[in-house]
Amino acid sequence: MFEIQIYNKVRNNIMKNFKRTLVTTALPYANGPVHIGHLAGVYVPADIYVRYLRLKGDDVLYIGGSDEHGVPITLKARKEGVSPQDVVDKYHTLIKDSFEKFGISFDIYSRTSNSTHHKTASEFFKKLYDKGVFIEKESDQYYDEEAGQFLADRYITGTCPHCNNPAAYGDQCESCGTSLNATDLINPRSVISGSTPQLRKTKHWYLPLDRYQEFLEKWILKEHKEWKPNVYGQCKSWLDLGLQPRAVSRDLDWGVPVPVEGAEGKVLYVWFDAPIGYISATRELTPDWEKYWKDPETRMIHFIGKDNIVFHCIVFPTMLKAEGSFILPDNVPANEFLNLEGDKISTSRNWAVWLHEYLVDFEGKQDVLRYVLTANAPETKDNDFTWKDFQARNNNELVAILGNFVNRAVVLTHKYFEGNVPEKGKTEVLDTQTLEAIPDIVKRVSANLDHFKFREALREAMSLARLGNKYLADTEPWKLIKTDVERVKTILNVSLQITANLAVVMEPFLPFTAQKMRDMLNMTEPRWVDGGNTELLSPSHAIGEAKLLFEKIEDAKIQEQLDRLARTKVSNEADNKEAEPAKEDVSFEEFTKMDIRVGTILEAEKVPKTKKLLKLKVDTGIDKRTVVSGIAGYFEPEKIIGQQVCILVNLAPRKIRGIESQGMILMAEDADGRLDFVAPTTKIKAGSQIS
């Protein structure tokens, strides 16, 4: 009790001054689709939070959009031979569509290549410029003389000075994770031409973070001790290191042009322009946007992954503070990372579960993924997603606990009372205890949601279904129906009230399922205030038909996903495989001893009782001879008749499985073990010599 009082006091102090909430989510980068790591870290928790506030009747806006500027986009465009606009159009559409199907309930999902954003970002920069906030500084940057352009960030690669990774980028080494300056790299090379770049002077604008150090220390370290320990800790270590001015412009032709004279060929650095995207999107959504960004009675929350903490807690607040008219975030509940089957999720290595693919492979099962990603959310430490855990949570929790309870309550009501909510008669102790537990559970769900503890909130919400299952198991209405109909009426009334409460509290977590439950119960739009009400359904209210909420996921379905990941692993290993070192030198005379000819396969058949061997008849031009070759794993005998090959004809004959093999067909072996013929690209007469 004492704890609850203290807690309420703290909570009132935190909450009392806010009239509305603005929730922003990190802008996904439009050079690839979104994956489960993005969802677990940012979009699912934010969506739960926003749905919860909406249920409470709060004024809340949920802002999202694609980040469409920066070097990875222009590099991808160059690699694919398309324009940067083509790249961002493709992925923005894919990302927006998959979020929608997954039930992420943005009020707007915008993009940073549109004109409202260009205007907003440009004005923002101009205002800081006019106030004299920036430091203008000339520095030496790498320039590609062949391509005639400066090389920003990932346009340059070289060897990492910390870990010797030969493929580190101009802004970061992905191998050891260190942030780099291009000039730190050993043996820098231009990604465009491959040439060694030269240093040239260029002017850029810097945000003097160091001048805001004192303000940030007070604002974060003193006034926001309630931030999550991982967020607070990361901010503290940045501040302890001492902040440095940070460039906010780049020499590039894709992005928001720097809106001042003498800045031709320069754009805003993507990390300056992206968070302004939250403002632009709000501006696009409503003419009232300033109310959400400038009124101190607005509570702003940034949902992000841990890799974005410094930008949302230090860089963006400094920009907002320097501008002067904006509010600062009240909280930044960043999550840690989600791994996949024990390995770091990676877009470039294709090691991910992609949302758009999940939506096809597990059609209609959005809530299963939402459930698993929340139950296993990386809230306080990195966590691992495994397909086995996904299956187990679906089968043992969603099917066996939630689905099973709701189904029994609805089916029994139809069976015994023609689908009408029965009257609650005289209650026993168990009934009263059960009913009293409902509002307590709902309160605990609320308290956890208020503190961004989504895992715990979901666990509490599920405890309501557990309560229902236990109640049915203890009361056994299916036995009592023969002897005590009045008692069964009370039991099913209580069970249906639990179900109705589940239809309310599950809405933020499992919106598709909660909607189905409300359809089943003929309930109107939910309100959070209804949670805990033990008379949500009136006696004789007619409920609808039972619907299947969840179904068991079979092993085969999971195995498909595991097989796909296994194939990715093999192909990644093959991509990374390095060529074998060269063998010892041979003399030209030694080489010419080998008699290699062009031949044509005339016949092919499998060698019985072997998996790998084919018996071939080859026209060598000299003769027609038999060769045994270990290629059956890769070629169907009937498909290689007529194939031209290179054959070593003077290899001493040897017996293989009782067959005399006279020569050897030359094969190339790919990194993954796949074999292919080495053959002329045009038809060559059999017997022609290879030299």
Binding site for Zn ion (CB under 5 A): 160, 162-163, 165, 173, 175-176
> What are the b/e assignments for 232-260, b being 16+ CB within 10 Å?
bebbeebbeeebeebbbbbbbebbbbbbb
Cβ atoms 482, 22 nearer than 8 A: no
Rounded Cα distance, 519 and 507, in Å: 13
Q: Kindly tell me which of 66 and 159 has the beta carbon lying closer to Zn ion.
A: 159
DSSP per-residue codes, 247-285: E-EEE-SSSPBP-STT-TTEEE-HHHHHHHHHHHHHHHH
Rounded Cα distance, 69 and 247, in Å: 16
Say how many Å lie between the first and final Cα of the chain, rounded: 91
CA distances from 648 to 592, 614, 681, 689, 691 (A): 12, 17, 18, 10, 12
Q: Kindly tell me which of 175 and 339 has the beta carbon lying closer to Zn ion.
A: 175
Cβ atoms 249, 153 nearer than 8 A: no
Amino acid at 57: G
Q: Kindly tell me which of 78 and 162 has the beta carbon lying closer to Zn ion.
A: 162
Q: Kindly tell me which of 163 and 411 has the beta carbon lying closer to Zn ion.
A: 163
Q: Kindly tell me which of 105 and 165 has the beta carbon lying closer to Zn ion.
A: 165
User: Shortest gap between Cβ of 172 and Zn ion (angstroms)?
Assistant: 9
User: Shortest gap between Cβ of 674 and Zn ion (angstroms)?
Assistant: 32
Q: Kindly tell me which of 172 and 404 has the beta carbon lying closer to Zn ion.
A: 172
DSSP one-letter code for 56: T
Secondary structure of 346-359 in HEC code, one letter for each residue? ECCCCECCEHHHHH
Tokens of 625: 């001879």
CA distances from 629 to 546, 670, 690 (A): 62, 17, 20
Q: Which of 447, 466, 461 has its CA nearest to residue 367?
A: 461
Cβ atoms 170, 153 nearer than 8 A: yes
Q: Is 211 exposed, middle or buried (0-12, 13-18, 19+ CB in 10 A)?
A: middle
Q: Kindly tell me which of 112 and 157 has the beta carbon lying closer to Zn ion.
A: 157
Q: Kindly tell me which of 174 and 295 has the beta carbon lying closer to Zn ion.
A: 174
Q: Which of 661, 103, 53 has its CA nearest to residue 369?
A: 103
Q: Kindly tell me which of 15 and 176 has the beta carbon lying closer to Zn ion.
A: 176
Rounded Cα distance, 482 and 488, in Å: 10
CA distances from 333 to 45, 72, 593 (A): 9, 27, 72
Rounded Cα distance, 250 and 268, in Å: 6
Amino acid at 370: R
Q: Kindly tell me which of 176 and 411 has the beta carbon lying closer to Zn ion.
A: 176
Rounded Cα distance, 537 and 558, in Å: 39
Q: Kindly tell me which of 6 and 176 has the beta carbon lying closer to Zn ion.
A: 176
User: Shortest gap between Cβ of 163 and Zn ion (angstroms)?
Assistant: 3
Cβ atoms 598, 687 nearer than 8 A: yes
Write the Ramachandran bin of 381: left for phi over 0, alpha for psi from -120 to 50, otherwise beta: beta
Write the Ramachandran bin of 350: left for phi over 0, alpha for psi from -120 to 50, otherwise beta: left
Rounded Cα distance, 529 and 551, in Å: 31
Q: Which of 383, 584, 409, 594 has its CA nearest to residue 500?
A: 409
Q: Kindly tell me which of 174 and 223 has the beta carbon lying closer to Zn ion.
A: 174
Q: Kindly tell me which of 173 and 248 has the beta carbon lying closer to Zn ion.
A: 173
User: Shortest gap between Cβ of 168 and Zn ion (angstroms)?
Assistant: 5
Amino acid at 212: Y
User: Shortest gap between Cβ of 639 and Zn ion (angstroms)?
Assistant: 47
User: Shortest gap between Cβ of 153 and Zn ion (angstroms)?
Assistant: 16
User: Shortest gap between Cβ of 127 and Zn ion (angstroms)?
Assistant: 38
CA distances from 287 to 76, 280, 281, 284, 320 (A): 36, 11, 11, 8, 20
Cβ atoms 401, 469 nearer than 8 A: yes
Q: Kindly tell me which of 158 and 508 has the beta carbon lying closer to Zn ion.
A: 158
Cβ atoms 61, 295 nearer than 8 A: no
Backbone angles phi, psi at 665, to 5 degrees: -80, 130
User: Shortest gap between Cβ of 166 and Zn ion (angstroms)?
Assistant: 10
Q: Which of 111, 122, 113 has its CA nearest to residue 28?
A: 111
Q: Kindly tell me which of 15 and 163 has the beta carbon lying closer to Zn ion.
A: 163
Q: Kindly tell me which of 160 and 494 has the beta carbon lying closer to Zn ion.
A: 160
User: Shortest gap between Cβ of 174 and Zn ion (angstroms)?
Assistant: 8
